[in-house]
A and B are shown apart, each in its own frame.
Chain A
């Protein structure tokens, strides 16, 4: 019968239309604007419309999600900041679009470099969010962020003050990575302590 194919196809769209309402009833009051509903709409069992109403609702980002990096500092007991970065330059060297500029600190007396950056720039407009800097940083001092809402009317060139975020923030967005890094750090410290003990 001519037209059978069209009717079959329209059946698919009608099915979707009905499914949306069926799912609305099945998830009455829970389908929109709550995390459970969002998770359902991005699972394999979702039916019908599964639009996420951005910006009222946001998809949760997975832990590995990467956006423009930030610098990590550890909070000292007295409220001071201990910047993890040693300005070794690996991130600046590995950065594909070369958007990281590090100004090194020199000791005023000896003129030798001090392992702490004087200034640290990231041009977020050039950054391609590849995540290499965080991946290859030996000190876990630079980490990819989860905050993707950085649109602005100016160019986004972040200096060190804008880039610094506490280690607790890092722990908040990437708990598993943080845990892994901490274990490695503890292991390294223990190994070092054992070495010095053996030497003495």
Chain B
């Protein structure tokens, strides 16, 4: 059976008995580490106990007394993970030592915590805001921070029912528009930071090579650039065509998903998770329902588990197809491969639509099951796809591209990242596996019914662009294998445990649910206080964390390679910016 509900049994307090204590709050797990000993404990975990992958770092605001930072670390050889926390009193300045020197993958996550919680990380190499802009006032995920047009702390809002009256948000400002200025703010006279800190973070761009004082070129790729797949921007310093330094700039699509999530009830969050990685709403739903089910202690019935597997694997196939298609588009093979990929995706989305009611925003999972059973004939359609059409189409893609000499000369030998670095930078998903690390949550810590299927963890060794392309085709084939088993074993029975409820009772406690999403490890960290709304709702977004190593991947390469590297990392901005 799945090992989901356990954390590692390692006794951390043996490392430093007076500064590490077990977390004794009911339904909480892990260890509370003294902040002075944090780096020692982390180093020991990584070097002596093999927890080489820092999966998630996040903050929790236990208003009004404490701020907490929660770390989840795993072994890439598989098995349960370990949780450790640092608690500090909640008055500014709040400072915690940075773990970036131990696990470089913590860099962006710590910046995010600084941005949203106002916790400073000492010795962090580049502690700037990441999702909000420089000059933004306040730290939005603190419990005492309130947004413009704030109504109430928790939904449902009373102005809807029972005191229903309709007010348009445009009517709330004198400008009749959705904006709000701080008092005494005059947009005519405002002086903005001008991104000096961003350019300051880039490597110095005046050199004195051979006695000549030369300026290197600073180039801003994006936010409006077709290769960035959305509003993503990279500030790059170039020496000729070679990248010397690179800083990603993000947050253009930021909507503070987590704050919205903490206002919502548990069930209301489900459709919001669709909007994270909008290609794979079926996977996003699963990660979230897994975390909530862990808190509630329910298990979905068999048929629901199989439905989940089928939908998630179909979703993975269409995600990888799109990736390959759009990658070729980025490379300049204008649109034929992309449209071939979209054709197959269309058929998969038809299935999603028939089952869930929507093509992309599926909202299919419920706690303890799924929303609807498959309508008549849909299972037949899935069978037709996974047994006949999709294997054929995977072969067709292989013929179309894999041996193409132009494609190979462009892709082969351009290293994205090697395996050790990928683990240090917390990269997960196909990019990690293409670099030769066989780490897949479906195998490392099986959830759902993945322990029943026979499949291989797709693996390539070189970690170059070509391997990153090939691994997607491998994963499509493995997903088809899983699907073929799943449709033939599919049991009859109920699709949800218990009666469908619109207000679920979630006992107090914390939970971390993680799944292997098509883009990497997708995790949800939840803290419940027993109320209808989560106290803390955090998304460990694979796109966001995989991008941490972008500079490492790109430095020394040509600017044209940046486009392809970004293409194979497979970012999606809905998830990256949250």
CA distance A50 to B336 in the complex (A): 14
Partner-contacting stretch, out of B112-120, B398-406, B457-465, B507-515: B398-406
Contact of B401 among A2, A9, A90 (CB under 8 A): A9
Given A44-B385, A96-B271, A98-B160, decide whether A103 and B165 contact each other with a Cβ distance below 8 A: yes
Q: Indicate whether A178 reaches chain B with its CB closer than 8 angstroms.
A: no
Contact at A94–B350, with CB atoms within 8 Å?
no
* Complex CA distance for A103 and B403, rounded to whole angstroms: 65
Give the B interface residue count (CB, 8 A).
56
Does chain A have a CB within 8 A of B267? yes
Task: Assess the A64–B375 pair: CB atoms within 8 A.
Answer: yes
A62 → chain B closest CB, angstroms: 4
- Please report which residues of chain A, range 1-39, place their CB below 8 angstroms from some CB of chain B when the two chains form the complex: 2-6, 8-9, 11-13, 16
Q: Would you call A135 and B500 a contact (CB within 8 A)?
A: yes
Q: Is the CB of A44 within 8 A of B160?
A: no
> What's the least CB distance linking A20 to chain B, in Å?
12
Residue picked from A16, A64, A136, A176, most chain B C-beta under 10 Å: A64
B residues near A104, Cβ cutoff 8 Å: 161-162, 164
Shortest C-beta distance, A14 to chain B (Å), equals 11
Does residue B354 face the partner (Cβ distance < 8 Å to A)?
yes
Query: Cα distance A95–B267 when bound, in Å?
Result: 10
Bound form: Cα–Cα A131–B170 in Å: 26
Least CB distance from A116 to B in Å reads 13
Question: Which residues in B have their C-beta under 8 angstroms from that of A4?
Answer: 403, 405
CB pair A101 B164 closer than 8 Å: yes
Complex contacts, A63 vs chain B, CB 8 Å: 375
Q: Are A66 and B403 in contact (CB under 8 A)?
A: no
Report Cα–Cα, A131/B274, bound state, in Å.
Answer: 13
Known: A9-B403, A64-B355, A64-B356. A132 touches B267 (CB 8 A): yes
**B323 proximity list for chain A (CB < 8 A):** none
The answer to whether A83 has its CB under 8 Å from any CB of chain B is no
CB pair A132 B271 closer than 8 Å: yes
Known: A6-B404, A101-B160. A94 touches B267 (CB 8 A): yes
A131 near B399: Cβ-Cβ < 8 Å: no
Q: Which residues of A contact B (CB under 8 A)?
A: 2-6, 8-9, 11-13, 16, 42-44, 50, 61-66, 87, 89-90, 92-96, 98, 100-104, 113, 119, 121, 123, 128-132, 135-136, 144, 155, 157, 176
Residue pairs across A and B with Cβ atoms less than 8 A apart, 24 shown, are A4-B403, A4-B405, A5-B405, A8-B400, A9-B399, A13-B336, A42-B346, A44-B347, A44-B384, A44-B388, A62-B353, A62-B375, A64-B357, A64-B372, A65-B357, A93-B160, A95-B156, A98-B156, A98-B157, A101-B166, A102-B162, A102-B164, A119-B164, A155-B168
Chain B residues engaging chain A, CB cutoff 8 angstroms: 155-157, 159-162, 164-166, 168, 170, 264-265, 267-272, 336, 340, 343, 346-347, 350, 353-358, 361, 363, 371-372, 375, 381, 384-385, 388-389, 396, 399-408, 500, 502-503
